[in-house]
Amino acid sequence: MPTLATVGILSIGQMGLGVAELLVASNYAVLTNVSDRSAATQKRAHDASLVLVDSDVDLVAKSDYIISIVPPRDAVATADRIANALQRSPRQSPSPLYYLDLNAIAPSTAARIASAFAHQNVRFIDGGIIGGPPTRSPDGWSKPGIPLSGPHTLSSAPASGAHVASVLNTRHVDARIGRASGLKCCFAALTKGMTALALQSYTTASALDVLPHLQHYMDMHNPSVRARAEKSIVACPGKAYRWVEEMRQIGEASVQELEQEDR
């Protein structure tokens, strides 16, 4: 059976790999450029049946879609890489390249990224990922939610747009760029903010030698909060390097909204 469309993914971390595997299982050709990454990353991509290209120029030339799923600190640089690749070697296809930024960034950062593609044959879609990576079970796929925004809808893309929008479990929330990123920031403020408060509370209680007493009173008055707090603390270390910039982006989104209200 011929593939439905070609999707380039940057990069192949835990979330990116899950999305790539979902797309491959749904009959999409998935490309990635990991030429400058470790041998372990290259093997991970190869084992997932991804097509490995040698450069960003190859990636944009062969892809109908580019999906950016990187740590927030790398979102702008990743978009700049693709914009530069397009400048060095414009696509031969008359169809526009769809660039989906699914990173945890503020609306202002999303707007900055969109401006990098303003004079190119690119349709920018702002987005975010809410939930864990796609995983496959005997009962089917468990998928995160992917809100999208901007004047261009993924479902209207010419290369199997409606199908890829459904496969990725997307929801177009607004025609304005930045609204999906803002929604992601609002959601993350609750989830990651809870983890930050739990870390502060537990480390302070430990320093004061009252942690068991804190846990005792939490069990008395709100045991579900204790369970959630401790689960988030245990899960945090492996993700903390990504969360630093994400929390900054959440703060920027909040400040931006307050400034707009003042005006």
CB 106 within 8 A of CB 176: no
- The per-residue pLDDT for range 76-124, each reduced to its tens digit, is 999 999 999 999 987 878 889 999 999 999 999 999 999 999 889 999 9
CA 116 – CA 80 distance, rounded (Å): 7
For residue 87, the SS3 value is helix
- The per-residue pLDDT for range 37-84, each reduced to its tens digit, is 888 888 888 899 999 999 999 999 999 999 999 999 999 999 999 999
CATH 1.10.760.10 fits 6-175, yes or no: no
Question: In whole numbers, what is the pLDDT of the chain averaged over residues?
Answer: 91
Give the distance, in angstroms, between the CA of residue 97 and the centroid of all CA atoms in the same chain: 18
Confidence bin at 142 (pLDDT 50/70/90): very high
CA 205 – CA 143 distance, rounded (Å): 37
pLDDT > 90: what percent of the chain?
71
DSSP letters of 136-177?
EETTEEE--BEEEESSS-GGG-TTTHHHHHHHTTEEEEESST
Tell whether omega for the bond before 11 is within 30 degrees of 0, i.e. cis: yes
Residue 168 predicted with pLDDT over 90 = yes
